Amino acid sequence: MEKIVLDAENRTAIGKKVRALRREGKLPAIIYGKGIQPMAISLDYIDASKILSSVTSSHLIEIDVDGHSHNVLVRDRQRDPILRNLIHVDFLAVSMTETLRTNVMVELVGEAPAATEYGGIVVPSAEYLEVESLPQNLPEKFVVDISGLENVGDAIFVRDLDIPEGVEVLTDMDETVVIVTAQMMEEVLEELEEVEAMEEMAEEPEIIERGRLEEEEGLEAVEPGEEEVEEE
């Protein structure tokens, strides 16, 4: 895994003052983790946004804060809801001598002959796999080559993946990562989902109407001024 180093500075600007920091070309961030006090920092926006745009949540990063080095993982990226540019990043500080659990992204590469030659549909089943390892052993992602899927029904399971040394996969080894299904099957499933949705929509007014009728039948009409008389 390529080593990534980011330079940062301690920051005192918080709250509304952070806006001025962004106007200066800085990206506010925070480092937190076991055994350390949360640390508010700022990064160069251009450099940081370029690097962080392609970094996964399992990619180890070294952040140099005023001469002190911190090994971290990206835990959250906040973006402007309109412009979609980064406005804040959360980093989790990790110990290089303690194992940790995290999710590693799965990336499919290549083309499946079952799809290109027989019209099958490639259906990904696992976007991430949960793993446990030392931070320095974490894979950036699991790259899965689907060029060996030659027939409809062929699949790749977690147990088929190339797991790096020092990494324990916690996801069920029998879980499907990707499978090729028949196009007709996909269309049938979609039609069934549409029918079920329509049936649910049709049942809802019937249930409401039945409930209303039952409620009305259970009410006794009492004329104004009438009182109930108990039998002796």
Going from N- to C-terminal start, the domains of the chain cover: 4-93, 100-181
DSSP structure class, residue 110: S
pLDDT digits (tens, 9 = 90+) for 4-41: 999 999 988 777 778 888 889 999 999 999 888 999 99
Q: Which amino acid is at 128?
A: Y
Q: Which helix (H) or strand (E) covers residue 196, if one does?
A: helix 183-217
Answer for the pair 175, 168: CB distance below 8 angstroms, yes or no: no
Q: Which pTM value belongs to this model? A: 0.72
Superfamily (CATH H level) for 4-93? Ribosomal Protein L25; Chain P (2.40.240.10)
Q: Is the pLDDT reported for residue 215 higher than 60? A: no
Which is nearest to 179 in space by CA: 123, 100, 96, 217?
Answer: 123
Report the C-alpha gap between 48 and 222 in whole angstroms: 75
Six-digit token string for 44 = 């160069």
Report the C-alpha gap between 61 and 52 in whole angstroms: 10
pLDDT digits (tens, 9 = 90+) for 154-210: 999 999 999 999 999 999 999 999 999 987 555 556 666 777 777 677 655 554 455
CATH of 100-181, one of 3.40.50.300, 2.170.120.20, 3.40.50.720, 2.10.109.10: 2.170.120.20
Six-digit token string for 230 = 């108990």
